[in-house]
Amino acid sequence: MSCRPNQIIVEYLLDWDKANNLLKKATSQTHMFLAWQPPPCGFFKLNIDGSRVSDSGCIAAGGIIRNSDGIWIAGFSANLGHGEVFVAEAWALYYGLKVAWQLGLCQLTVNSDYALVVDMINGDWVDSHPMIWVIMSSLLLLISCSLF
């Protein structure tokens, strides 16, 4: 290695560039094609999602209900103010189930990409969680629909 600072910097940059290019060549990409999967015949599917803009903290919820042929039945969206993504996901579930319940759509499958909400609906929750009443209200909608 040289004792001249400029040459040391140049050698370092060349080594860094060489290593960076090797990493780029070694990285492979995998393409995944995702598509909506219909529910069983005679059922409806509710797809929900919550979102959060990280800079502002604004949250929103939305969802769509389709039949087994993929035909749009209903949809919703809601601006929820500011908060965490979990809050948006929990409200998305509640609003989606409420729309389905109001339409009498009891043969329903629900899809959410947020595991914590799914876990809480399946019974893995803490009673003191601030959103427990939204989860419990969602469960009540599910139970009341199954009584018909």
Q: According to the model, what pLDDT value does residue 13 have? A: 67
Q: Is the pLDDT of residue 144 over 80?
A: no
> What are the domain boundaries of the chain?
44-146
Transcribe 13-79 into DSSP letters: HHHHHHHHHHHHHH-----------PPSTT-EEEEEEEEE-TTT-EEEEEEEEEETT--EEEEEEEE
Average pLDDT, the chain: 82
pLDDT tens by residue, 62-118: 999 999 999 999 999 999 999 999 899 999 999 999 999 999 998 999 998 887 887
What is the rounded average pLDDT of the residues 8-18? 70
Class of domain 44-146: alpha beta
